[in-house]
Structure 1
Amino acid sequence: MHIRRALPVDAPAIAPLLGQLGYPSTAEDVAARFARLAGSENDVAWLAVDPGGDDAEAVIGFGAGHLFWPYELDAPLAELTALVVAESNRGTGAGRALVTTFEEWATAAGAVRATVSSAVRRTGAHAFYERLGYEQLSKKFDKRL
């Protein structure tokens, strides 16, 4: 297994992963999101891939990060905006590898903190992030507009 940057051509492999995360998406939806973020230096996405036997690779995980400069700090923060590993590949280290890649990217970009939001019902994800050194510092509120 290795980590590489996600590309627009990966949209068909990313869409089912986003569905497993609870965000049903088509390949066209994902391709449009890539197009919207094209050229952004503050948004990046990665794939965890498992090399196949005949030069094919299986996408087993997806992660995305966003860098932003809040008014209250003099340095950027990095947010892990998406992280999902295929149900059949959970526990293989793919999630940890994606988070490590995100943190390395954030550090290289000068971020002083890394954040991630996780739905209240995702207790397994909470334990995963805590094992990686993340701690709950606040509650996040959301309102549909």
Structure 2
Amino acid sequence: MDAIQIRPAQLTDLNPIASLLLQLGYSATEAQLQQYLNNPNRTDEIYLAESNGVVVGLISLIFFDYFPSQQQICRITALVVTEASRGLGVGTQLIDFAKDRASKRGCCQLEVTTSMRRDKTQAYYESIGFEKTSFRYIQAIEGK
């Protein structure tokens, strides 16, 4: 694979973003994504990895204050690489990019969540230095 460039997602990227999200199990129309990306109150950052002008990966980041430690944390909220590009280092490059963004924002740690069903993904994260430290519990809010 040729060199990877990582750049901010743009409105012209709606189709590849929708395709990548679908690989994670999230269905979004281009209209929904356009509305989301146009929201001036968004607090996340979304980046795409490209090879020869073709989108091969996506990472989204949020930065937040964590009261218990009085520090800022960067969380990867989505990370996906096209099936054809998996195993070629794209995911690791995206994570390295996230580490750099987190460092520049003064974060004390980078964290990522993944489905309990994704054993290979968990093994990958652990192989590159992430440590499983907690469980995440969710509860839906009625009407949302």
Same fold (TM over 0.5): yes
Which residue in the other structure is 1:7 paired with? 10
Taking every aligned residue pair, what percent have the same amino acid on both sides? 30
With normalisation by structure 2, the TM-score equals 0.90
Q: Distance in 2 between matches of 1:33 and 1:131?
A: 33
With normalisation by structure 1, the TM-score equals 0.89
Which residue in the other structure is 2:106 paired with? 110
Report matched runs for 1:52-131 at 5 Å: 57-131=53-127
Question: Where in structure 1 do 4 or more consecutive aligned residues deviate above 3 Å?
Answer: none
Letter in 1 for 2:77: T
Q: Distance in 2 between matches of 1:28 and 1:132?
A: 36
Segments of 5+ residues of structure 1 without an aligned counterpart are: 52-56
1:112 offset after TM fit, Å?
A: 0.2
1:30 offset after TM fit, Å?
A: 1.5
Segments of 5+ residues of structure 2 without an aligned counterpart are: none
Which residue in the other structure is 1:20 paired with? 23
Which string of whole-angstrom CA distances, capped at 9 and with x for unpartnered residues, describes residues 102-127 of structure 1?
11100110000111110001111111
C-alpha RMSD over aligned residues? 1.3
Range with bigger deviation, 58-67 or 68-77: 68-77
